[in-house]
């Protein structure tokens, strides 16, 4: 029951932050946004407390770096360096998600052609996005390129879980990672290429959905492993 309440709080804060981002309610955003990921961290830790998996620490660390990125980006308007620091925090968050995915055991040693073909759209998308953004990146060409490649790698590692673990859990990871790519891509397009309609709504909705789905997938996987 307590964990369900935490989920309700997460989505309440999510809705509040989306409203704040859409209508520029700064005070509401400063209240809601810092509370989003702590809800998921608490939920994940509480749901997996009986598991002895080192990979769970990777998930928590990834969430904490993303939370730090959320906080830093809130100060972006006062100093552009906060965007760089925020980008670096999210970069580390994605790296820890990648490390988490690599720790998921693979019973089969074979790499089917189907899996390799699934990664091709990710590569095309990342290079396509960079092609669009590159002329407008200025001094941020290297950090944004690095971030895009790590982001694509995170999605690829989520896709790699297909037929490696249960379908429902893999679907949570894949959908969550894809939502993260959509959120970050919309943010980059809006910032560096051209403004998009209602950016706050779409960026924050896909971001909250991404984090929630990834965490729920990790919780279900941990419980499944703990039952074996």
Distance CA 182, CA 167 (A): 22
Mean pLDDT calculated for residue range 40-56: 85
Domain extent listing, the chain: 55-227
SS3 1: coil
Which tokens belong to 33?
A: 């946004």
| Share of residues in the chain with pLDDT > 70 (%) | 93
**Over the Cα atoms of the chain, what is R_g?**
18
| More confident position, 215 or 226 | 215
| Share of residues in the chain with pLDDT > 90 (%) | 71
Mean pLDDT calculated for residue range 45-71: 89
Query: Would you say residue 63 has pLDDT above 90?
Result: yes
Q: Give Cα 144 to chain centroid, integer Å.
A: 16
Query: The whole model's pTM is what?
Result: 0.93
Which tokens belong to 112?
A: 């089917």
Distance CA 136, CA 182 (A): 19
Mean pLDDT calculated for residue range 85-92: 96
| More confident position, 220 or 164 | 220
pLDDT score for 104: 87
* Residue recorded with tokens 């369900």: 4
Mean pLDDT is lowest, of 86-90, 216-220, 221-225, for 221-225
């Amino acid at each position: 029951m307590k964990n369900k309440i935490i989920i309700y709080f997460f989505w309440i804060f999510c809705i509040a932050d989306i409203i704040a981002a859409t209508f520029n309610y700064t005070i509401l955003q400063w209240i809601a946004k810092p509370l989003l990921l702590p809800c998921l961290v608490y939920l994940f830790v509480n749901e997996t407390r009986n598991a002895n998996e080192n990979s769970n620490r990777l998930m928590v660390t990834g969430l904490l770096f993303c939370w730090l990125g959320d906080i830093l980006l809130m100060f972006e308007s006062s100093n552009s360096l906060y965007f760089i620091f925020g980008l670096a925090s999210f970069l580390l968050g994605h790296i820890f998600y990648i490390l988490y995915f690599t720790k998921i055991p693979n019973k089969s040693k074979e790499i089917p052609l189907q899996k390799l073909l699934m990664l091709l759209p990710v590569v095309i998308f990342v290079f396509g996005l960079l092609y669009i953004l590159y002329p407008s990146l200025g001094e941020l060409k290297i950090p944004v390129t690095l971030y895009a490649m790590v982001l694509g790698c995170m999605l690829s590692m989520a896709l790699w879980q297909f037929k490696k673990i249960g379908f429902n859990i893999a679907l949570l990871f894949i959908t969550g990672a894809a939502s993260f790519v959509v959120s970050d891509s919309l943010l980059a397009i809006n910032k560096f290429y051209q403004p998009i309609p209602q950016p706050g709504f779409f960026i924050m909705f896909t971001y909250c959905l991404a984090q929630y789905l990834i965490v729920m997938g990790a919780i279900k996987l941990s419980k499944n492993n703990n039952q074996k």
